[in-house]
Amino acid sequence: MAQEEETTTGRVDKIFAPWDKPNSPGCALGVIKDGEFIYRRGYGMASLEHDVPLSSSSIFYIASTSKQFAAASIILAAEQGHLSLDDDIRKYVPDLPDYGKTITIRHLLHHTSGLRDYLTLWELAGEQFADIHEPEDALEMIARQKALNFEPGEEHLYSNSGYFLLSVIIERATGKTLREFAHENIFQPLGMVHSHFHDDHTEISKHRAIGHVLRDDSSFAMYVSNFDLVGSGGLHTSVDDLLLWDRNFYDNELGTGTLLEQLHTRGILNNGDTLSYAAGVGIDEYKGLRTVSHGGSAQGYRTELLRFPDQRFSVICLCNLGTINPSRLARQVADVYLADQFVETEEEEEALAVQAEFIELSQAELETWAGAYRNPDTGTIWKVSVEGERLKIEINGAQWHLAPLSPTEFKAVDSPMGIDVTFQDAPKSAHAVFEDGDEAIFEAVELVSPDAVLLAEYAGEWYSEELDATWQLVLQEAGLVIEDGPEDPLSPTIRDEFKLRGLTLRFTRDEAGRISSMLVDAGRVRNLEFARPDE
């Protein structure tokens, strides 16, 4: 038996071996079975500056993994009668404009509010979110937005604004800050004595693991942050304390008894579709087993809390280096312990069957579908070309391949998620079905190559009232660039549209054909309007 345990923990140690050294940041790991640790260890250093190793008692900033604690706080506040999850958020935050549709607290919990993400907005304004330390500044930024990304309940789009606003609502509804409320109603009752929402960046947090980033020369640097906002993140905690939180998911000691059910209640869109996202946690499957999880990434920290509720098994992985992927690592640890319990899902069986059904097409047949395709809803561009016996798709710097099932039907073989693509002619398009059930139509387009004369029409100063910031588009030899932005030039797609990394810039014209405004999409922010300052 001892030899078996040695083999198991040895396999786990190998997973973390790249960081298990005295000159590297790393991770603190906790493996839980039936409410007790069956393995816990630190790999690497909590502080390179002071030669302090990581351990299960090291304190981490857990970024968005904090959201489940903000969600629990708002649910407990509702149990206590301070608020209702179906309240209009403007009851507590009248600072926000009236968007014509009610946004409820429940919308915030499920990321279905349509509110633009304030961290993305801050970056678009040319500021570093690490320097935001006044809640009033964040609230002012959110309140300046004249429009939503979509009507509340129509879509699911992750928004840190919603969870920051939960902290505002807690304070205004209960008279206590989120830090105070969570301490009294979660951390103190569970004995999580080393956990708190860190709302003062100058405060000493004993045994803190320092967040690190990797420099271009492969050396490490400390991530220095003045960020004080909580709700969307902000929790300081340890592997040891998170054991107590994990136990509570099986034997709830908090509130009046509805907490666990409400934390696990998945959001429902207006059309009746059920989301995989519940309240601060995602409900999913891994290798046929049900999971409850959430990760976090910010300020040189990467974290993951992964639970297999039916097996009463959890993995806590807290890391203090921004390039580590704890979500993958936690699942690799689960592979070690749960290998004999995984089941082959119907999807996996179908994938194996489909792989046997791949066919060969001629070069001419494959070339039929080569070209550029654009999603009119998101502006996403697919560049499709032939590579060997397959089609290659390039998107935002990434690439993957499609294998043919028929002359028009293809399946992605190396993409991050499963995708089935059906091409059609007249009009030429690609219909994509993703493994999560989402669908999208990509229309064939001719990519443009505007000359310097045309590019000059877009150049100049652009002001956004919603950001209270100005962008300067400058025409250089390489093309159109954003001054003080990325060095890469904007990449033209179709007429009056450009892409740059995660940005899409679309220009509109007036009746006379003159460029009149610029709309920017940036993932969690859509249709952000800019105008010429003199117009």
Whether 227 is covered by a domain: the verdict is: yes
Domain boundary among 275, 307, 338: 338
Same domain, residue pair 381 and 507: no
**What residue spans of 153-255 are helical by DSSP H?**
160-174, 178-182, 188-190, 239-248
Same domain, residue pair 71 and 199: yes
Same domain, residue pair 424 and 487: no
Same domain, residue pair 321 and 358: no
Domain boundary among 418, 445, 472: 445
CA atoms within 13 A on the CB side of 92: 23
Give residues with Cβ within 8 angstroms of 41, minimum separation 6.
Answer: 13, 16, 28, 29, 55, 56
Same domain, residue pair 233 and 357: no
Number of domains in the chain: 3
> Do the beta carbons of residue 248 and residue 185 sit within 8 Å?
no
Q: What is the CATH number of the domain that holds 98?
A: 3.40.710.10
Same domain, residue pair 437 and 509: no
Residue 92 has pLDDT above 90, yes or no: yes
CA distances from 333 to 13, 314, 326, 494 (A): 9, 10, 10, 46
Element at 399 (helix H, strand E) = strand 398-404
SS3 26: coil
Name the residue range of residue 368's domain. Answer: 349-445
**Amino acid 356: pLDDT:** 59
Whether 265 is covered by a domain: the verdict is: yes
Whether 315 is covered by a domain: the verdict is: yes
Rounded to an integer, the average pLDDT of 97-106 is 98
d(CA 466, CA 472): 16
Whether 16 is covered by a domain: the verdict is: no
Enumerate the β-bridge partners of residue 36: 33
pLDDT in tens, 305-334: 999 999 999 999 999 999 999 999 999 999
d(CA 177, CA 243): 25
Same domain, residue pair 276 and 392: no
**Mean pLDDT for all residues in the chain:** 94
pLDDT in tens, 226-269: 888 999 999 999 999 999 999 999 999 999 999 999 999 999 99
Burial class of 154 by CB neighbour count within 10 A (0 to 12, 13 to 18, 19+): middle
Q: What is the CATH number of the domain that holds 423?
A: 2.40.128.50
Same domain, residue pair 308 and 373: no
Same domain, residue pair 363 and 406: yes
Same domain, residue pair 256 and 238: yes
pLDDT in tens, 505-521: 999 999 999 999 999 99
Whether 343 is covered by a domain: the verdict is: no
pLDDT in tens, 430-454: 999 988 778 999 999 999 999 999 9
**DSSP, res 447:** P
Whether 30 is covered by a domain: the verdict is: no
**DSSP, res 65:** G
pLDDT tier at 1 (50, 70, 90 boundaries)? very low
Same domain, residue pair 316 and 369: no
Same domain, residue pair 457 and 432: no
Whether 15 is covered by a domain: the verdict is: no
Rounded to an integer, the average pLDDT of 151-165 is 98
Domain boundary among 390, 425, 445: 445
pLDDT tier at 128 (50, 70, 90 boundaries)? confident
Whether 34 is covered by a domain: the verdict is: no
